[in-house]
């Protein structure tokens, strides 16, 4: 049986967040701790699909980031949550505008396992939690004081605010396991003061999440509409598969396409050889990673 060195990356959102004296120490500590837990699990033989689900669940449970508890709020003051997950064999699941699964990525994973539908949205996605044995919470569980204050500021300015313009953001994970298998997962609350029912790239397989064992695993973060327009995550795969471009080159080109259509953001990726890329068009991206069993690193700014 093959025994590859493991590689992974996780992110907590990209944006033009302000530089601060403390350097976002709490965010980096959380990313480091989660990264070490994911690396240890992969080195012990955990499958890539299980590893990215684990990583995103831990990030959803961390109030520093815009996913699960502590997600940003829409115009109605509600947390509407999107998530998706995909393995390198083409199996995938996604949810959008959910309000009740404690960990939206677990509902996406349950859809992947169930195999009947790829994506469910809104109240019907929430209702599926019972059938698929996914833990739920009252919608109030996801709302925290900081996000209410952020919503009030956005309402005063009458703007929709990218979560990444604050030191908080979408979360995601990519991994290559001991068997060389790839997987990716992404989860978010979207944008502060977004329209109720708005869905960004995170819940869209091919835009925000993609994995294929012959090429790469990708999770994106940024201006969701722009990532959808360029089909960002899947486009990297096709450039690698058909154009024989290396991961880094394909990812940088796609990020430039996002910029060209008025967006901003970043992504994390790992290829079949375990090489990691972390391109961004923004000042920073919360991220932690390990390439080929190397020690876990974490960073915010370029």
Positions at the binding site for substrate = 198-201, 221-224
Q: Which two three-digit tokens encode residue 21?
A: 């004296």
Q: What is the dihedral of CA 271, 118, 160, 194, to 10 degrees?
A: -160
Distance CA 81, CA 100 (A): 9
CB-facing half-sphere around the CA of 166: CA atoms within 13 A: 22
CA 176 to chain centre: 16
Q: Which of 170, 188, 202, 209 is catalytic?
A: 170
75 as an active site residue: the answer is no
Give the CA angle between residues 161, 289, 202 to the nearest 5°: 35
Q: Which residues are annotated as a binding site?
A: 198-201, 221-224
Cβ 220 vs Cβ 266: under 8 Å: yes
Distance CA 126, CA 109 (A): 14
User: Catalytic amino acids?
Assistant: 170
């Amino acid at each position: 049986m093959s025994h590859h060195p493991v590689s992974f990356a996780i992110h907590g959102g990209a944006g033009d967040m302000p530089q601060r004296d403390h350097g976002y120490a709490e965010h980096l500590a959380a990313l480091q701790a989660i990264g070490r837990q994911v690396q240890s699990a992969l080195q012990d033989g955990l499958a890539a699909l299980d590893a990215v689900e684990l990583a995103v669940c831990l990030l959803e449970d961390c109030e520093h980031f815009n996913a699960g508890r502590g997600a940003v709020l829409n115009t109605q003051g509600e947390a509407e949550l999107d998530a998706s997950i995909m393995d390198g064999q083409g199996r995938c699941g996604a949810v959008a505008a959910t309000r009740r699964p404690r960990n939206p990525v677990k509902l996406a994973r349950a859809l992947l396992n169930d195999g009947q539908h790829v994506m469910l949205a809104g109240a019907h996605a929430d209702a599926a939690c019972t059938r698929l044995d996914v833990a739920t919470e009252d919608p109030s569980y996801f709302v925290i004081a900081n996000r209410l204050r952020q919503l009030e500021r956005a309402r005063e300015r009458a703007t929709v605010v990218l979560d990444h313009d604050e030191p908080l953001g979408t979360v995601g994970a990519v991994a290559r396991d001991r068997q060389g298998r790839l997987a990716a997962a992404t989860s978010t609350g979207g944008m502060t003061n977004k329209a109720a029912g708005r869905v960004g790239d995170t819940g869209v397989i091919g835009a925000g999440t993609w994995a294929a064992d012959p090429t790469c695993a990708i999770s994106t973060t940024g201006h969701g509409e722009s990532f959808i327009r360029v089909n960002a995550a899947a486009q990297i795969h096709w450039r690698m598969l058909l154009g024989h471009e290396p991961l880094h080159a394909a990812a940088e080109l796609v990020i430039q396409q996002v910029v060209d259509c008025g967006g901003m953001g970043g992504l994390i990726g790992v290829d079949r050889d375990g090489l990691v890329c972390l391109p961004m068009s923004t000042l920073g991206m919360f991220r932690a990673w390990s390439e080929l069993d190397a020690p876990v690193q974490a960073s915010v700014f370029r």
